[in-house]
Copies of this chain bind each other. A is one copy, B any other.
């Protein structure tokens, strides 16, 4: 802990939609209310985190696209992932998909482009935390972690703010035979350090029991407000901003039925590789 928190914490918990007025003055540009008329309206299913394939399959080098952006965007308006052949980092924000390549820039993505691994949800703020004063990524992680109502549910998270420092990475498209993700990261990832940048962190906090399926704990991607630069978040310092949290009790997993997915050995222990791939160990 480099310095004490200087945070004005504003916690708002609501059961459904939230009226942020009066407490948080910069609400995110919320997308249109999703059309849920064709979704079963059980109380247990109002919020669904949708995911294609598993993180362990991605670690094993299964980079062939399984689901199109057009289909993915039907499942949510906020999330992250990667693209066919591991061609960059994906961020989904306000219903738009951006591809953040190894040149550090963000590109719009055609609906026909596919993803081998992605997770999205229709984002609705359940809780907001205002951050005043500089905080590093560990401090924000601790603060948000303490504010999560339960470690047994899933949370989509969006952090809008001004970042004194933002360290992101991306990965280049691969050719078959695909190498393991840990080997791509070791040799080919491109790292960018952005300074004094406004933008949004987008991602999830997921419970331990998704191990093998997705990333337990935090997993964040970043894009700037101009939608020009971003990548997979390795580290950051935020000057001020707001953390928006969407508690999610529904989870939907679509497994590929490709020969590659059916044949891959998912039993190999990849815990260390996941840490290496997702975190900043410098």
Contacts and interface: CB of A to CB of B under 8 A. Distances in A.
A45 B254 contact: yes
Interface in A187-203: none
Interface string A65-78: 01100010011000
A207 B154 contact: no
A154 B250 contact: no
A261 B40 contact: no
Nearest to A70: B42
A71 B41 CA distance: 10
Contact of A262 (B44, B67, B149, B266): B149
Interface string A26-42: 00000000000011101
A17 interface: no
A100 to B, nearest CB: 25
A256 B251 contact: no
Q: How many residues of A sit at the interface, in one of the four size bands?
A: 35 or more
A251 B212 CA distance: 14
A267 interface: yes
A208 B266 CA distance: 9
A74 B40 contact: yes
Contacts of A209: 54, 56, 211-213, 266
Interface string A243-266: 000010111111111000111101
Contact of A251 (B45, B150, B255): B255
Q: How many copies does the complex hold?
A: 2
Contacts of A45: 254
Contacts of A256: 44, 249
14 contacts: A38-B38, A38-B39, A40-B75, A42-B67, A44-B257, A54-B209, A56-B209, A57-B152, A152-B261, A152-B262, A211-B212, A249-B255, A251-B251, A252-B252
Nearest to A262: B150
A52 interface: yes
A153 interface: yes
In the A-B complex, list the 9 residue pairs whose CB atoms are closest, starting with the nearest: A209-B212, A150-B262, A44-B254, A251-B253, A249-B255, A252-B252, A38-B38, A249-B257, A42-B71
Contacts of A71: 42, 44
A266 B212 contact: no
Interface string A225-254: 000000000000000000000010111111
